[in-house]
Amino acid sequence: MISQARSHSVKRIADSTVRRLSAYLRFLEESAVDGVETISSDALARRGGTTSAQVRKDLSFFGSFGKRGLGYSVPELTSSLRDILGLGREWNVIIVGAGKIGMALGQYEGFEQRGFHVTAVYDTDPGKIGTQWGSILVRDMSRVEADIAEVTPDIAVLAVPVGEAQDAADRLIRAGVKAILNFAPTQLQVPGDVSVRNVNMAMELEGLSFILSNRDR
Amino acid sequence: MISQARSHSVKRIADSTVRRLSAYLRFLEESAVDGVETISSDALARRGGTTSAQVRKDLSFFGSFGKRGLGYSVPELTSSLRDILGLGREWNVIIVGAGKIGMALGQYEGFEQRGFHVTAVYDTDPGKIGTQWGSILVRDMSRVEADIAEVTPDIAVLAVPVGEAQDAADRLIRAGVKAILNFAPTQLQVPGDVSVRNVNMAMELEGLSFILSNRDR
DNA sequence: ATACACTTGTGAATGATTTCACAAGCTCGG
DNA sequence: CCGAGCTTGTGAAATCATTCACAAGTGTAT
Ligand SMILES: NC(=O)c1ccc[n+]([C@@H]2O[C@H](COP(=O)([O-])OP(=O)(O)OC[C@H]3O[C@@H](n4cnc5c(N)ncnc54)[C@H](O)[C@@H]3O)[C@@H](O)[C@H]2O)c1
Ligand SMILES: NC(=O)c1ccc[n+]([C@@H]2O[C@H](COP(=O)([O-])OP(=O)(O)OC[C@H]3O[C@@H](n4cnc5c(N)ncnc54)[C@H](O)[C@@H]3O)[C@@H](O)[C@H]2O)c1
């Protein structure tokens, strides 16, 4: 009962399922603001661009959260989803690469709001080291290993030029980092116990390009 | 023979396939720089984090590009993939929202390099309108419909606050935009003839959070 | 207390994607 | 020209994900 979520996590959960859970959570949060008390799988589905059966199946991997005939309690399901996604705690995040993207991410309030706390930003450029962004100080990349040894961040965001990405990742991993959000357009080679997610904007544009080129047939 | 790529595109191509093609292309470009002439599906797979059978299957949807016993010619496959992905031409892109993310994207050289030409950036903030970023001038969002009527961009990048995203998308779609790359963390509701790709960084972090929380079992 | 309208949770069916496995084709060395 | 060694291209099989369909609850109205 302490962790309804955990008790079911025997079979591997598909990536696509986790992404949808994230989407449901966001919609639930919006609904709560609007004062909605209860929501059906069908309403959740329409907003999330999926089907009600999909919503129920996704949730069923983790437990049984709804009331038949009624739907789901917005606050209860919100809390369960946060639990499932591991958002019940704060995660320490470092940003590596204080360039255009790193800067945008470091100043973005949305992450803190969801429990991702940026503890430090690193760069190799002497012109950037020591500069302050709001509450965040850009630190010297040569310190990263020492800092990680002291407080290991849960997640490292990699926002360095593509040619530096693998080396930087190797350094972080050697220092103990187990999860990386990579913005460089390259497939990082990492050991099996390290998780990587990629945000590849050029790839998304290419996906649109493919669709546009193949509209005809 | 003019378009080997097009001749096969009868059955729908999976999204995952298109993403991998994108990855293969990037690796091929790197290999070309290193002077590699020929590459096997196995080498392509290792670098792309997949299997050689997957590589061959992906390519087989579009034609037959390799030589048995030898592998694929790097320049030929590069060119075929560019063709398949619709990168043989230049795409006009507008950026809507000249904030932290919009600015990073507008100044990013990687997009131009791959044929995505940013023609304009729009914002509603009078303090931003009229400012210049490199070669790009921030324009008044109230002009967007008139500008689109003149030259319809192929793709619009949406980088406005989440509460503005649906309205901004509706405006763009009404004006004729058929493809959107959305950075706002919301599921846009769009008509069937409009393609949307989402870049949702918070969702990626939540994916890592889920993995980290469920490592134990 | 019963009927009615609704909605969940979930096996089973269907559909999609990935992996397997191997015949067929190419190159090279002798 | 032949055999050895590779590597592709592709049906068939296996795996994975989504959709269907419906029994089993739940709330409400009468
Ligand atoms: N800017 C974008 O819109 C955008 C879009 C898609 C992808 N990306 C990718 O994101 C990455 C960063 O892009 P950007 O535009 O912010 O580049 P940028 O050049 O503005 O910033 C990169 C920063 O990394 C620093 N750096 C270099 N080597 C480093 C190292 N070893 N350790 C720590 N810091 C190091 C540099 O000093 C610089 O400040 C690139 O891989 C780029 O391809 C960027
Ligand atoms: N900054 C990040 O790292 C980051 C990360 C993840 C997601 N996002 C998302 O990207 C979007 C933009 O984020 P940001 O950090 O760049 O925000 P921002 O506030 O820096 O920029 C938003 C810009 O959009 C402009 N704008 C507002 N309404 C507009 C409209 N109707 N038409 C045109 N322009 C309009 C604002 O004037 C502002 O310049 C948000 O939805 C945010 O949630 C940002």
Instruction: Supply the pLDDT for residue B217.
Output: 54
Instruction: Supply the pLDDT for residue A10.
Output: 61
Instruction: Supply the pLDDT for residue A216.
Output: 65
Q: b/e per residue, A37-59, with b = 16+ CB within 10 A?
A: ebbbbebbbbbbebeeebbbebb
Task: Express as a percent the part of chain A with pLDDT over 90.
Answer: 91
CATH superfamily of A91-203: NAD(P)-binding Rossmann-like Domain (3.40.50.720)
Question: Following DSSP, what letter does each residue of chain A receive, concatenated?
Answer: -TTHHHHHTTSPPPHHHHHHHHHHHHHHHHHHHTT--EE-HHHHHHHHTS-HHHHHHHHHTT---EETTTEEEHHHHHHHHHHHTTTTS-EEEEEE--SHHHHHHHT-HHHHHTTEEEEEEEES-TTTTT-EETTEEEEEGGGHHHHHHHS--SEEEE-S-HHHHHHHHHHHHHTT--EEEE-SSS-----TT-EEEE--HHHHHHHHHHHHHTS--
Mean pLDDT of A21-44: 95
**Is residue B5 pLDDT above 80, yes or no?**
no
| Amino acid symbol at B43 | A
Instruction: Supply the pLDDT for residue A134.
Output: 83
Query: What are the pLDDT digits (tens) for A48-78?
Result: 999 999 999 999 999 999 999 999 999 999 9
Cβ of residue A16 lies below 7 Å from strand C: no
Protein residue whose Cα sits closest to atom 18 of ligand 1:
A99
- B169 versus A215: the higher-pLDDT residue is B169
Instruction: Supply the pLDDT for residue A135.
Output: 83
Query: What are the pLDDT digits (tens) for B98-138?
Result: 999 999 999 999 999 999 999 999 999 999 999 998 888 99
Q: Which residues contact A180 (CB under 8 A, 6 or more apart)?
A: A155, A156, A157, A158, A169, A172, A173, A188, A190, A194, A195, A196, A197
- B133 versus B178: the higher-pLDDT residue is B178
Average model confidence (pLDDT) across chain B: 93
Q: For residue A25, what pLDDT band results from cuts at 50, 70 and 90?
A: very high
Instruction: Supply the pLDDT for residue A6.
Output: 46
User: Between A and B, how many CB-CB pairs are < 8 A?
Assistant: 171
Mean pLDDT of A88-117: 95
Residue B156 at interface with chain A, using a CB cutoff of 8 Å: no
**Is residue B2 pLDDT above 70, yes or no?**
no
Question: Residues of CATH 1.10.10.10 domain(s) within chain A?
Answer: 10-84
Q: Is B14 in the pocket of ligand 2 (CB under 6 A)?
A: no
Instruction: Supply the pLDDT for residue A1.
Output: 33
Mean pLDDT of B199-212: 96
CB-facing half-sphere around the CA of A3: CA atoms within 13 A: 14
Task: State the residue for tokens 């204080």.
Answer: A98
For B207, nearest residue in chain A (alpha carbons): A18
Residue B111 alpha carbon to ligand 2 centre in Å? 19
Instruction: Supply the pLDDT for residue A215.
Output: 82
- pTM (two decimals): 0.94
**Is residue A106 pLDDT above 90, yes or no?**
yes
Which CATH architecture best describes the domain B10-84? Orthogonal Bundle (1.10)
Question: Residues of CATH 3.40.50.720 domain(s) within chain B?
Answer: 91-203
Q: What is the dihedral angle through the alpha carbons of A198, A202, A204, A206, rounded to the nearest 10 degrees?
A: -140
Query: What are the pLDDT digits (tens) for A6-21?
Result: 445 567 899 999 999 9
Mean pLDDT of B204-214: 96
| Amino acid symbol at B55 | V
